[in-house]
Amino acid sequence: MTCFFDVQNIYYIPQYFPVWRELMKRGHTCKLVVYENTNKESLINQVLSQIGVDYVKVQGEEHAKELYLKEKPEWIFFGNKFGSLDLIHKHSKSIQMGHGIGPKRSYYRKSDTPMTVRFIEGEMRLKVIEDMYPDDNFVQVGFSKLDPVFDGSEAGLDLKRLGLDPQKPTILYAPTFNPTSIGCFPKDWVDDFKEYNILIKPHSFTFALTKSRYIKDQKRIKEWAKYSNVYLADADEYSLVPFLKTADILISEASSTLFEFAALDKPVVICDFYDLKWSYKGIFKYRFKKRFLTESVIYQDLGTHAVNYRQVKQKVEEEMNNPSNYKDNRKQYNKDHVGPTDGKASVRIVDYLENFGK
C-alpha cells in the first residue's frame, strides 16, 4: 500500500519516522509531503538529506490537498487538523497521529475534524477522547516517537564527540516555545552547573521566528553555548529523541517533553516560571491563567517543581541524589498518557493499517 505523511513542520518527523521505517520494512511505499511555507528551505534540505526518504515539497495545505487528490494514496498520516477531508476521503483514508503528548487542550481539539482513525497513546487519554467524540474511531497503540529508545535502535549522543565529559551527569534543558522560561534563566546560569554537562534543545520555533523577543532568546541561548560544558543542538538536529536517551535529568516547562522523558523513568524538574509575551502580561494575565494554568494541572505530580530559577539547582541535586522520587507517579503517568513502552507502537500501527477492513 502507499502511505503519505503530511509534514506541516519538520518536528513531526520523529513521530512519523518509526512508522515509516516499519512500513518500508514490510515492503510498502512511503512519501513525506513537506510544507515549504512553514519550514526554512535550508532546514528542509538538511534534514531530508540526513534521513534519506522519498519526499515532495508543497507550498501549503491547499497544494498538499491537490497532491493527495491527484496521487490518491491509500493512507495519509496527519499530525494536525486538515481541511477538505470530505474530498480526501473519496480516494484515501486518513490517520491522525499527534506529534506530541503535551498538556494543551489542542491535543484533543485536533479531533474536531474526524479522520478514519486516530492513534492514541495512553489509557486515560483514550477514555477522555472517546467521551468527547463518541462516534469517531480511536485506537490505543502507544507513542511511536519513543520506539527507537525502547527497541534499542537509538544509541543516543556521543558526548565526547560533542566536546563534553562522559563522566559527568548530563542535564537536558529543553525550553518550550510558549510559554518559555528562557528569559528567566540568568545569563550566567551555566556557571551554577559546572559539574554537569548541559544539553540545550530549544523548540524549533525559537530559532525560526524573527520577532524581537525571539531574537533576544536566540542571543541568550547562543551565549550559553559558549561554555565548555554546554552543547546547543543545531537547527537540523530536529529530533529530541537522542537527547532524551542521553540525558540523566530534564529541565523544562509546559511541554510534551516532560511526558516523554518521564516515560524513560528519569527525573524531571518542572519550571513554574515563564517569560510571558505581552499579550499574557498585566491586564491580560487572565488569558494566560485561562489557557495555561488549567492545562498545567495535568502534570502537577509528574516530578518536582521549581517556582523560580533560584530553586532549580536545589531541585536538580535532590532528584539526582534520589532518582526514585516520583517513580510511582512516572509509572502511572506512563499508563495514562504514554501507553505501552515496549518499542512496538509502530508495529501496532502498521498491523492495524494492513488489517483494516478485513
Residue of 58, 52, 53 whose CA lies nearest to 71: 58
List, for residues 94-121, the tens digit of each pLDDT value.
Answer: 999 987 887 677 788 888 889 999 999 9
Q: What are phi and psi of 294, to 5 degrees?
A: -65, -40
Summarize pLDDT for 239-274 with one digit per residue, the tens: 999 999 999 999 998 788 999 999 999 999 999 888
Q: In 17-169, which ranges are E strands?
A: 29-35, 55-58, 75-78, 93-96, 117-120, 138-140
249-252 and 75-78: which strand pairing?
unpaired
SS3 325: coil
pLDDT averaged over every residue in the chain: 90
- For the question of whether the overall pTM of this predicted structure is more than 0.85, the answer is yes
Lowest mean pLDDT among 28-32, 99-103, 125-129, 344-348: 99-103
Q: What is the pLDDT of residue 212?
A: 62
Torsion of CA 215, 33, 36, 208, to 10 degrees: 0
Q: Which residue pairs from 212-218 have beta carbons closer than 8 angstroms and sit at least 24 positions apart in sequence?
A: 213/277, 216/183, 217/180, 217/182, 217/183, 217/275
Q: b/e for 205-232, b at 16 or more Cβ within 10 A?
A: ebbbeeeeebeebbebbeebeebebbbb
Structural domains in the chain plus CATH codes: 2-151+343-355 (3.40.50.2000), 170-338 (3.40.50)
Q: Give the three cell numbers for residue 141.
A: 497503540
